[in-house]
A and B are shown apart, each in its own frame.
Chain A
């Protein structure tokens, strides 16, 4: 939140500095809206109303920074009368280092195995390494750095995702990761059998897999600690099979997906050749995969779904829009911030998620309204800290691994969740309701700061709603609180109970 304060302070200056990239983003946003709205009109579906300022502020803060705004930030934004305040907010959020940190958090979840040895420290270092790249580098550069990372664990955090347990990540797993996250296709089912619905065959899978044989250390567990990750040209699928490192594979030379000609000099590693092929502007997968994934992350649903299973059997809902986004993304030199700026500047992104009209299902399917997303474990933790301050030590919460790490482990069990799927159950809710970590002292302190002597129930309710939900209470909600003061016995007690209740609402747990 300190960073967001900084970000808002930057609003004026950065707004001007970033002006160079803005016309392109504005133009692309307009094109996005033309595609979406033409389709809505053709299908006779009325789009939802625009999101109000509070809904937009909370949404874009969670999407770009992974955290809700503080009460002060919300108050300032809501009070700002300037018509271009949303544009300036987006510019400030994108210019803030927190943007890269959040994206790195998301990608760390995709790429680093929870079975990585010394997972906590290494995942953290990988995240920091990635954050710098998301903040400053274009996506082709970042993807290349990830795909070709080499060296010792202590010297290059980029290799962290290439290690699992005390071994190099297995060949099939690496083929899976590369194809899903950089090409937007799932080859894994073709590991064992030709895919029934697509063109992918076992040949395709094992051709891609053969690219990752060079980082293995057959028969030498822990060797990766001594020499780090490096590419040994002598290692092939055949030699790995002979060493018993993998079984059940199809012997294939390294082959780019789709059979593109393998262009690599003798001295080039397989992974470097893959990165060069992948990030070439004419590559048919790379830009589309990231365009679709960015849309998926921000809208909660891809233009193609599942987001990482793009093939003819899963047509895009808006094929021309996807083509456009991929084309512009590649033409911009894979400038992910520019793509993100365009998407969040569109009317489509800035609609409410309240369903309306005659056909709410169709309205959602055609991006006529925003979907309701679920706060990830990391977003939930960071938002609780933003609202309540530092967590209190709590029996039953092991502090050794670090509070954020422990919390994220407890609240999530999947590094790549569907953004709209709610994945919490009894253990998580018991903890949210009853653990002193946030619901104890931090919550009481927030209430005490707000319910100072002499303030009215309405003032207290107003500040608490702003602090927790980033909006003002409705008249009904104010009345509810007034009645609650009577039941709780004092304004102070009622404030504490309201803060607790607000943190337990669906509204707080969701990004609407």
Chain B
């Protein structure tokens, strides 16, 4: 349903026209190289690195756990047996085994990994990675927002901070239901009448008060109405995808083999459908999409580590592999960086069937985005308890992601009311970009 709201200039005031829409979601860049995009697959709760991308078959039984490593497409690179599909794709990927970070509390670590900063009480409200990418790579006049989050995300970390409301994420809580609140409650005609009336009522107030806040409000209304009226909102509608494609990302409602009801995710398969929506959004030109896996408990496997990690891995393997294959099939993988990570890893020692928080050494994975794939970077010791080679701090990691995306991580912003420039990535200590990926 497209709303015909152009009359009375409400929508055209925002610079939108329906005629510019070509009827396809795919919006190939008209000229020059396509700007890069990033899809962050956020593994809420903190996956066990030993049970996913840093297996330790030589370690004692209470460390190495129940899973076996398997070979992948890249000789010498071995990962958990529960990522069999992704194992075929490792030549596009870099496994970073030297993540070594400072926070081992969920919320503090989630904030740190998203913003790159630890101080939270200060004057500066730091923006999340998605907001930074939205500002640096997004198109200001695009009808679609430049930062979309899918799933029940960590609200306190998914913030635009001082970058302001233009870079706030648009949240899709359930990808299957689609974007909430995009359709008016009544008929399009009624909606059009109401918006007209609001606009006229607002006119006198603006003439009299001439306030910047009023203008900002009116602009926000214009942009929201414009999105409601724009064909690109179809990027949020998964029903437009062929059944075969939807199925490839994981069957909705059917838990992956071995899963029980305790994975803590939303509905089984929801993460896969979120990945599919991320692909549609990137295709339509959205530069940053965060897809959250693990509402509530998720990967926080203090108990039942093995059955839960097995189930989550199975669902994740299908979804993430489908995403990479789909991006590749559409020629988008070289310009789309897929990041797999959580807020920390988990303890080497497995006590009482569970693993606890572990920030000193853990793994993340980068795929696509034009990186040199087929690599493992960094190495942990025998028990994956400490980084033996090439430790990666949060600033190192974020600077690397920025560099891959073509963003200068040393570039500074000037938040309103703050006397000093704030670099995109905290440069107060030495930052080492993983240049071997470039």
Chain A residues in 8 Å Cβ range of B169: 427
Bitwise, B202-230 to A at CB < 8 A (1) or not (0) is 10111011111110111011011101100
Q: Which of A196, A305, A427 has its CB near the most chain B CB atoms (within 10 A)?
A: A427
Number of interface residues of A (CB under 8 A): 83
Q: Are B111 and A505 in contact (CB under 8 A)?
A: no
Q: Are A177 and B121 in contact (CB under 8 A)?
A: yes
Q: Are A427 and B197 in contact (CB under 8 A)?
A: no
Chain A residues in 8 Å Cβ range of B210: 355, 360
- A383-424, CB < 8 A from B: 395-396, 398, 409, 413-414, 418, 420-424
A439 close to chain B: CB less than 8 A? yes
Chain B residues in 8 Å Cβ range of A174: 121
A230 close to chain B: CB less than 8 A? no
Q: Are B119 and A172 in contact (CB under 8 A)?
A: yes
Q: Are A173 and B165 in contact (CB under 8 A)?
A: no
Q: Distance in Å from the Cβ of B126 to the closest Cβ of chain A? A: 11
Q: Are B201 and A372 in contact (CB under 8 A)?
A: no
Q: Are B120 and A173 in contact (CB under 8 A)?
A: yes
Chain B residues in 8 Å Cβ range of A505: 198, 201-202, 205
Instruction: Mark the stretch among B27-35, B182-190, B326-334, B384-392 that contacts chain A.
Output: B182-190
CA distance A338 to B122 in the complex (A): 30
A308 close to chain B: CB less than 8 A? yes
CA distance A166 to B419 in the complex (A): 32
Chain B residues in 8 Å Cβ range of A114: 155-156
CA distance A126 to B4 in the complex (A): 48
CA distance A308 to B124 in the complex (A): 12
**Of all chain B residues, which has the CB nearest A116?**
B107
Mostly helix, strand, loop or mixed at chain A's interface?
Answer: mixed
Bitwise, A158-194 to B at CB < 8 A (1) or not (0) is 0000001111011011101100100000101101100
Q: Are A430 and B182 in contact (CB under 8 A)?
A: yes
Q: Are A188 and B181 in contact (CB under 8 A)?
A: no
B104 close to chain A: CB less than 8 A? yes
B145 close to chain A: CB less than 8 A? yes
B170 close to chain A: CB less than 8 A? yes
Known: A427-B168, A498-B197. A422 touches B122 (CB 8 A): no
Q: Distance in Å from the Cβ of B171 to the closest Cβ of chain A? A: 6
Q: Distance in Å from the Cβ of A195 to the closest Cβ of chain B? A: 8
Chain A residues in 8 Å Cβ range of B419: 189, 196-197, 309
Q: Distance in Å from the Cβ of A444 to the closest Cβ of chain B? A: 9
Chain B residues in 8 Å Cβ range of A504: 194-195, 198, 221
- B143-166, CB < 8 A from A: 145, 152, 155-156, 159-161, 164-166
Known: A505-B205, A506-B202. A173 touches B177 (CB 8 A): no
A263 close to chain B: CB less than 8 A? no
Known: A426-B227, A506-B217. A487 touches B193 (CB 8 A): yes
**Of all chain A residues, which has the CB nearest B216?**
A422
**Of all chain B residues, which has the CB nearest A161?**
B121
Chain A residues in 8 Å Cβ range of B221: 429, 433, 504
Q: Are A372 and B420 in contact (CB under 8 A)?
A: no
Q: Distance in Å from the Cβ of B67 to the closest Cβ of chain A? A: 28
Q: Are B224 and A426 in contact (CB under 8 A)?
A: yes
Q: Are A188 and B123 in contact (CB under 8 A)?
A: yes
Instruction: Mark the stretch among A63-71, A83-91, A448-456, A472-480 that contacts chain B.
Output: A472-480
Q: Are A510 and B224 in contact (CB under 8 A)?
A: no
Specify which of A192, A395, A428 is in contact with B177 (CB 8 Å cutoff). A395
- A444-498, CB < 8 A from B: 474, 476-477, 480, 484, 487-488, 493, 497-498
B91 close to chain A: CB less than 8 A? no
Chain A residues in 8 Å Cβ range of B165: 422-425, 428
A436 close to chain B: CB less than 8 A? yes
Q: Are A173 and B105 in contact (CB under 8 A)?
A: no
A501 close to chain B: CB less than 8 A? yes
- A91-135, CB < 8 A from B: 113-117, 119
CA distance A426 to B141 in the complex (A): 13
Q: Are A354 and B208 in contact (CB under 8 A)?
A: yes
B416 close to chain A: CB less than 8 A? yes
Number of interface residues of B (CB under 8 A): 71
Q: Are B201 and A480 in contact (CB under 8 A)?
A: yes
CA distance A507 to B211 in the complex (A): 10
Specify which of A191, A431, A497 is in contact with B193 (CB 8 Å cutoff). A497
Known: A176-B119, A396-B177, A474-B204. A426 touches B416 (CB 8 A): no
Specify which of A116, A373, A435 is in contact with B180 (CB 8 Å cutoff). A435
**Of all chain B residues, which has the CB nearest A181?**
B121
Q: Which of A117, A493, A505 has its CB near the most chain B CB atoms (within 10 A)?
A: A505
Chain B residues in 8 Å Cβ range of A423: 164-165
Specify which of B106, B159, B201, B209 is in contact with A502 (CB 8 Å cutoff). B201
B428 close to chain A: CB less than 8 A? yes
Q: Are A427 and B145 in contact (CB under 8 A)?
A: yes
CA distance A62 to B171 in the complex (A): 29
CA distance A511 to B127 in the complex (A): 27
Chain B residues in 8 Å Cβ range of A308: 123
CA distance A320 to B249 in the complex (A): 68
Q: Which of B168, B171, B206 has its CB near the most chain A CB atoms (within 10 A)?
A: B168
Bitwise, B281-293 to A at CB < 8 A (1) or not (0) is 0000000000000
Chain B residues in 8 Å Cβ range of A413: 125, 159-161, 168
A146 close to chain B: CB less than 8 A? no
Specify which of A427, A440, A488, A510 is in contact with B185 (CB 8 Å cutoff). A440
Q: Are A176 and B105 in contact (CB under 8 A)?
A: no
Specify which of B194, B197, B228 is in contact with A430 (CB 8 Å cutoff). B228
B417 close to chain A: CB less than 8 A? yes
**Of all chain A residues, which has the CB nearest B164?**
A423
B247 close to chain A: CB less than 8 A? no
Q: Are B193 and A430 in contact (CB under 8 A)?
A: no
Q: Are B204 and A476 in contact (CB under 8 A)?
A: yes
CA distance A346 to B277 in the complex (A): 56
Q: Are B202 and A398 in contact (CB under 8 A)?
A: no
B108 close to chain A: CB less than 8 A? yes
**Of all chain B residues, which has the CB nearest A173?**
B121
Specify which of B111, B118, B183, B197 is in contact with A434 (CB 8 Å cutoff). B183
CA distance A47 to B125 in the complex (A): 36
Chain A residues in 8 Å Cβ range of B212: 420, 422
Q: Which 5 A-B pairs have the closest CB atoms?
A: A396-B180, A165-B105, A425-B165, A429-B224, A173-B121
The 22 listed contacts between A and B (C-beta, < 8 Å) are: A115-B107, A164-B108, A164-B120, A167-B108, A169-B121, A170-B118, A191-B119, A196-B419, A354-B209, A396-B174, A398-B152, A422-B165, A422-B212, A424-B216, A425-B165, A426-B224, A427-B169, A434-B183, A487-B193, A497-B190, A509-B217, A510-B217
Q: A191-B119, A396-B180, A424-B217 are in contact. List 14 more A-B contacts (CB 8 A).
A: A165-B108, A170-B118, A172-B121, A173-B120, A173-B121, A355-B210, A421-B416, A427-B168, A433-B181, A480-B201, A497-B194, A501-B195, A505-B198, A512-B211
